[in-house]
Amino acid sequence: MRFNFALKIMLFVAFTTTIVSCNKSKDYKDNSRATGWRLDGRDGSMKYQTDYQGQETGPGLVFIEGGTFTMGRVQDDVMHDWNNNPTQQHVQSFYMDETEVTNRMYLQYLDWLKFTFPPKEKKYANIYKGALPDTLVWRNRLGYNETMTNNYLRHPAYQNYPVVGVNWIQATEFSKWRTDRVNELQLETKGYIAEGAKYAADAETTFNTETYINAPSNIYGGNDSLNKGRNNERLVQVIHGDTVHNNVQRKDGVLLPAYRLPTEAEWEYAALGLAGIREYNQYRGRKKYPWDGQYTRQGGRRTRGDQLANFKQGNGDYGGIAGWSDDGADITAEIKTYPPNDFGLYDMAGNVSEWVADVYRPIIDNEFNDFNYFRGNVYTKNAINQDGTVKIVTSDSIIFDTLSNGSIIARTLPGQIQQEPVNSEDTYLRTQFSDSDNRDFRDGDKASSRGYLSGQEHKKMYNSPEHNVSAIKDSTGRAKGLDRQYDQSSSRTTLINNEVRVFKGGSWRDRAYFLDPAQRRYFPQDMATDYIGFRNAMSRVGSKSQKGKRARD
């Protein structure tokens, strides 16, 4: 009896151990799940990142965990715009600037351009000039605003105020510059770039993230045969274990994704601050402001009656009565003057409105896509030389764009990779897209035009004005001025075209109605105002949450 009982116990333990061992997954952290080969490069094989801890939060950013929300207005549309009907959307996790881009941040950009591309040199003059904010936006024919015109951008009293007078194109170029400067510091901090290399850059030796990834031998100005592709000792060799790294690649997880303007869906989702919502009706679109409640004043015991944002309270009332019922500002306010929303973002209502990435259309086409919605995709690819290398822009091949108002802005800078539209060969038999420019997809393209199915001649959905700016040249072919042709046609019915961009959020000039994150308006991408600023976003790579992998039973 005792023998049979002991045998049963032994069999039970063996059976249980077998089940546990079968259910336990093998850890392939240092070896390939596909081949069993080592992944750390110690046996001469390719090295892969095996101890990646997740994406770092870039300077100035806060994490926004993505999710589902109701985009658009659910409440009454008293202006009868009918351009923000509610739709349910899902947004991936991303990062967003804690505050608006400030004057001091933008001045760093201007100073870098001025140092790197001296405007005294004729070929660089338009680079710095094209990036300057339009300080004349403060002028009013029946108002005295010369103090802001002369001081707002550069005086230290306004250094932590949001930058204004910046058009959408300038905001986009700032984002590209910020990406390169942040990644350059990342590489220097981790020892892949010599300390102080960023301070030695000039017009021919600037750092660009995409060039570093795609053509590292061209970074900082080109090849150095003595160092076998490492230029002038600015790029250093880093030893990890038994592996020597010359250059960082995407697979190393060191470089951060690009800073960019947020999409309209991202901006609205972040502004709503749904992270703290526990009520179903607010989750489904009943949240009126970035803060909780239906009012613009605080209800706390110590701060009761204080305004929660900087906005226009009535005719001739931009701040309230001095010393009482005052929101603390008449024009813009210093960043972090008002409480943040539940995501930790400041001034998502009031202060300044903000550019977002989207091209404006009256509708949000959620029937076609309800995931990471964005209108404005223009797909490009790296331009390739005949020898198969990428085309790097030099100081003699800078591409400038002349805007509709005659301003000249650099589209590319030395050190960047020249871009070109994708073509029919690139899109052959693709089901997701067939063209490079998708800004008017399903809303102005041939397939969505009124006469498409009836065989009528194709007409654009929106017949907006078409202004033309061209160079006036002398007998030698040199440009001596600009010929501005203003469209005076009386048959134009709209200002909507592919060059108008959405801006979101109320500003210091707006009534409380526009503080609702669902409100959407548009403005030409090459024009600026005294009430539109911007902030940057960055995509999240990897897990949706910062908490890591979900616990498994």
Please check whether residues 163 and 77 belong to one and the same domain.
yes
Please check whether residues 124 and 226 belong to one and the same domain.
yes
Please check whether residues 36 and 171 belong to one and the same domain.
no
Please check whether residues 33 and 123 belong to one and the same domain.
no
Helices 168-189 and 103-116, packing angle to 10 deg: 80
**Which pLDDT band, with edges at 50, 70 and 90, does 553 fall under?**
very low
Of 40, 57, 74, which closes a domain? 57
Q: How many domains does the chain have?
A: 2
- Calculate mean pLDDT across residues 3-22: 54
Which of 540, 518, 543, 504 lies closest to 69 in space, CA to CA? 518
- Per-residue pLDDT at 233: 60
- Residues in a beta bridge with 109: none
- Calculate mean pLDDT across residues 352-359: 98
Q: Distance between CA atoms of 52 and 521, rounded to whole angstroms?
A: 41
Residue 287 — φ and ψ, nearest 5°? -85, 120
CATH number at residue 425: 3.90.1580.10
SS3 (DSSP) at 188: helix
**Which pLDDT band, with edges at 50, 70 and 90, does 367 fall under?**
confident
- Sign, Cα dihedral of 507, 510, 514, 515: positive
Q: Give residue-wise pLDDT tens across range 133-186.
A: 999 999 999 999 999 999 999 999 999 999 999 999 999 999 999 999 999 999
C-beta atoms surrounding 294 within 10 Å: 9
Whether 216 is covered by a domain: the verdict is yes
**Which pLDDT band, with edges at 50, 70 and 90, does 230 fall under?**
very low
Amino acid of residue 347: D
| Cα of 324 vs its chain's centroid, Å | 39
Which of 528, 526, 545 lies closest to 162 in space, CA to CA? 528
**Which pLDDT band, with edges at 50, 70 and 90, does 298 fall under?**
confident
- Per-residue pLDDT at 499: 93
Q: How many CA atoms lie within 13 A of 206 on its CB side?
A: 27
Radius of gyration of the chain (CA): 28
- Per-residue pLDDT at 78: 77
Whether 239 is covered by a domain: the verdict is yes
Q: Report the mean per-residue pLDDT for the chain.
A: 84
Q: Is the predicted pLDDT of residue 202 greater than 90, yes or no?
A: no
What is the percent of the chain where pLDDT is above 70?
A: 81
Q: Is the predicted pLDDT of residue 229 greater than 60, yes or no?
A: no
Residue 358 — φ and ψ, nearest 5°? -75, 145
Is the entire prediction scored with pTM above 0.85? yes
Q: Would you list the DSSP string of 27-66?
A: --SSB-TTT--BSBSTTSS-B-------PPPPTTEEEE--
Lowest mean pLDDT across 81-90, 238-247, 386-395: 238-247
Q: Give residue-wise pLDDT tens across range 239-266.
A: 544 455 567 888 888 999 999 999 999 9
Q: Would you list the DSSP string of 271-290?
A: HHTGGG---HHIIIII--SS
Q: Give residue-wise pLDDT tens across range 312-344.
A: 988 998 887 776 667 788 999 999 999 999 999
Q: Give residue-wise pLDDT tens across range 500-519.
A: 999 999 999 999 999 999 99
Lowest mean pLDDT across 21-35, 136-150, 244-258, 375-389: 21-35
Residue 257 · residue 267 · CB < 8 Å: no
Amino acid of residue 552: R
Which of 20-29, 50-59, 454-463, 467-476 is most confident? 50-59
Please check whether residues 294 and 279 belong to one and the same domain.
yes
Q: Distance between CA atoms of 370 and 70, rounded to whole angstroms?
A: 11
Q: Distance between CA atoms of 40 and 236, rounded to whole angstroms?
A: 21
What is the percent of the chain where pLDDT is above 90?
A: 48
Whether 476 is covered by a domain: the verdict is no
- Per-residue pLDDT at 306: 79
Whether 1 is covered by a domain: the verdict is no
Range of the domain at 39: 28-57
Please check whether residues 51 and 127 belong to one and the same domain.
no
Q: Is the predicted pLDDT of residue 60 greater than 70, yes or no?
A: yes
Please check whether residues 52 and 137 belong to one and the same domain.
no
Q: Is the predicted pLDDT of residue 59 greater than 80, yes or no?
A: yes
Whether 314 is covered by a domain: the verdict is yes
- Calculate mean pLDDT across residues 272-278: 71
453 or 479, which is more confident?
479
- Per-residue pLDDT at 232: 46
Q: Is the predicted pLDDT of residue 349 greater than 50, yes or no?
A: yes
Q: Is the predicted pLDDT of residue 436 greater than 90, yes or no?
A: yes
- Per-residue pLDDT at 449: 62
Whether 311 is covered by a domain: the verdict is yes
Please check whether residues 52 and 199 belong to one and the same domain.
no
- Calculate mean pLDDT across residues 198-215: 85
Please check whether residues 176 and 236 belong to one and the same domain.
yes
Amino acid of residue 15: F
- Per-residue pLDDT at 13: 54
Q: Is the predicted pLDDT of residue 129 greater than 90, yes or no?
A: yes
Please check whether residues 341 and 404 belong to one and the same domain.
yes
- Calculate mean pLDDT across residues 209-225: 77
Q: Distance between CA atoms of 286 and 278, rounded to whole angstroms?
A: 12
**Which pLDDT band, with edges at 50, 70 and 90, does 276 fall under?**
low
Q: Is the predicted pLDDT of residue 201 greater than 60, yes or no?
A: yes
Q: How many CA atoms lie within 13 A of 246 on its CB side?
A: 12
Q: Distance between CA atoms of 319 and 302, rounded to whole angstroms?
A: 20
Residue 215 · residue 235 · CB < 8 Å: no
- Residues in a beta bridge with 95: 63, 538
- Per-residue pLDDT at 282: 47
Whether 15 is covered by a domain: the verdict is no
Please check whether residues 34 and 100 belong to one and the same domain.
no
Whether 284 is covered by a domain: the verdict is yes
Please check whether residues 53 and 116 belong to one and the same domain.
no
Q: Is the predicted pLDDT of residue 453 greater than 70, yes or no?
A: no
- Per-residue pLDDT at 131: 96
